Chain A
């Protein structure tokens, strides 16, 4: 998979939108590792929740030309940047200013991707619509993720796949349990220790 160009982005904009970092690239690496599976699946509709700069969903759109990609973000600046990143890399992306996937129809997405705000913080710190929304995850760094987990069974199409990035502090075993209660199998696609973080990408299907 090619890494999308980002040199159209003014560095100053990263004061307001999450700048792609190791976690973003790990998720791209996970999708690349799983590309054979994804190509065989030939998804029609893919959604990235909380797309930030748009680098992940743009990479996926570049790799899957027969797929229609959508993205959401609570931060309008992120929505604008995601769309620009896609356009700059000559792929189509529909960007919607939305909380998670709350305003989409049920059972339509073949693939959903989420690089959540995973940092453990006070509850009060998460739930905003600015740059802090990109990293502040509240208790266990899971408050936002857990809200999406409950939506996934409704939003995914039949046989849909959900890719989720987590760190060790998010207690991945608990997430696996929640998803298995929703009837999903899981696979750990990739893991990496970077700086003080142990990051994982899980796939639920």
Chain B
């Protein structure tokens, strides 16, 4: 699971949960896989992200070094920043571990890089 994906996941569909966001990450195995750098994509995706959630997620798995807590103005011209954002969004991957709902504590296992977000019928709103 890449951190861009983590930014898009919520456990809001759990019964009794209001936002279910962000999910906490507990990582057992984190890998860095090289991905082609595409500054155009990174520049466009940033406004769609919850940056604070991305920063906290990166920090929780030891990859926040050099990543600004707040997006700077004119970030699209800052190559160093875009490369760092690229790495954190697309190259860092949680292979094994789990995600935890911030409200209910429900855990979602991550195995072979695939989060298991399946719920039982009784758990759904």
A98 to chain B: which residues have CB within 8 Å? 115, 117-118
- Kindly identify, within residues 33 to 67 of chain B, every residue whose CB is under 8 Å from any CB belonging to chain A: 35, 38, 40-41, 44-45, 48
In the bound complex, do residue A97 and residue B41 qualify as a contact, i.e. CB atoms below 8 Å apart? Answer: no
Instruction: State whether the Cβ of B81 lies closer than 8 Å to any Cβ in chain A.
Output: no
On whether the beta carbons of B13 and A103 are closer than 8 Å, the reply is yes
**Interface flag for A196 (CB, 8 Å):** no
Contact of A184 with B by CB under 8 A = no
- Does B90 touch A at the CB level, under 8 Å? yes
Q: Does B100 contact A (CB under 8 A)?
A: no
Tell me if A108 is interfacial: C-beta within 8 Å of chain B. yes
Interface flag for B98 (CB, 8 Å)? no
The total of Cβ contacts below 8 Å across the A-B interface reads: 71
Contact of A105 among B9, B44, B118 (CB under 8 A): B9
Of all chain A residues, the one with the shortest Cβ separation from B9 is: A103
Partner of B10, one of A92, A94, A104: A104
Chain B residues near A129: list those with CB within 8 A: 118
B115–A105 touching, CB < 8 Å:
no
Q: How far is the CA of A97 from the CA of B115 in the complex (A)?
A: 6
Let me know if B87 is at the binding interface, CB within 8 A: no
Q: Quote the shortest CB–CB distance from A26 to chain B (angstroms).
A: 27
Report yes or no: B117 in contact with A97, Cβ–Cβ below 8 A. Answer: yes
Asked if A105 meets B8 with Cβ closer than 8 Å, knowing A66-B40, A80-B114, A99-B118, the reply is: yes
On whether the beta carbons of B118 and A44 are closer than 8 Å, the reply is no
With beta carbons under 8 angstroms apart, the residue of A76, A99, A104 that contacts B9 is: A104
Q: Interface residues of A, CB < 8 Å — how many? A: 25
B104 within 8 A of A: no
Given the known inter-chain contacts A66-B38, A102-B119, please indicate yes or no for A95 contacting B114, CB distance below 8 A: yes
The complex places the Cα of A97 from the Cα of B41 at a distance, in Å, of 25
**Most chain B CB inside 10 Å of its own CB: which residue of A98, A103, A129:** A103
Q: Report if A108-B48 is in contact (Cβ < 8 Å); known contacts: A95-B114, A97-B118, A103-B117.
A: yes
| Contacting pair B8 A108 (CB below 8 A) | yes
Smallest Cβ-Cβ distance to A99: which chain B residue: B118
* CB-based contact A92/B90 at 8 Å: yes
Q: Which residues of B contact A96 (CB under 8 A)?
A: 1, 5, 9, 114-115, 117
Asked if A102 and B8 make an inter-chain contact with CB atoms under 8 angstroms apart, the answer reads no
Known: A44-B48, A76-B116, A102-B13. 6 other contacts (CB 8 A): A68-B45, A94-B2, A103-B10, A104-B8, A105-B8, A108-B8
